[in-house]
Chains A and B, each alone.
Chain A
Amino acid sequence: SQELEQSPQSLIVQEGKNLTINCTSSKTLYGLYWYKQKYGEGLIFLMMLQKGGEEKSHEKITAKLDEKKQQSSLHITASQPSHAGTYLCGADEGKGAAGNKLTFGGGTRVLVKP
């Protein structure tokens, strides 16, 4: 089965600074999803990446999928307190019916210091 490793496990960033989270897969990624979770709450969908080299942005958050489709990064520019939380990457297990199941990385906990 697919394994996803996220790094770092946690980070503390000064408000206004940039940060990057990485998600590395043991297999080719057919669909890669980024979620955000605030403490005590559910997962909120951020972005989905499908094609090698794809890049998507929403407000100050940019996600990229590398050409080989085995690594993704999430970059936050000029971080704000609202960016605090745990970020999780998830990936489709495969194509077709196998792609119905998602595997998740362990998460990256982000704390933004004012």
Chain B
Amino acid sequence: NAGVTQTPKFQVLKTGQSMTLQCAQDMNHEYMSWYRQDPGMGLRLIHYSVGAGITDQGEVPNGYNVSRSTTEDFPLRLLSAAPSQTSVYFCASRRTRVAKNIQYFGAGTRLSVL
């Protein structure tokens, strides 16, 4: 039972470089989301998706793009990395249609932008 899988676990980028953080879930969950976690700031929602082909912005979407072509995958793209994007990124998924469902998290990706 893999659950939510994130790759890579660690990444170092130079300012201006681009990259994609991968997220995949095998629970057939409709809802997927990306958070960033920073010291003293808690978890902040970047983007989320309620199903394939549907995405929306969260609290801190600037500098990030997402797409949802399949139920299983929800990649997060950094088009031009900035030092302010140094953070730990978490992908999560849950069932929708009914609130009060448990959200499951991946192990995280630690990103440093130099």
Contacts and interface: CB of A to CB of B under 8 A. Distances in A.
Interface of A: 1, 30-31, 33, 35, 40-45, 48, 50, 88, 90, 92, 94-107
What's the dominant secondary structure at chain A's contact region? mixed
A43 B105 CA distance: 6
A101 B100 contact: no
Contact of B102 (A33, A99, A106): A33
Contacts, number: 64
B43 A30 contact: no
Interface range for B:
20 to 34
Given A100-B31, A100-B48, A31 B43 contact: no
A100 B94 contact: yes
Nearest to B88: A40
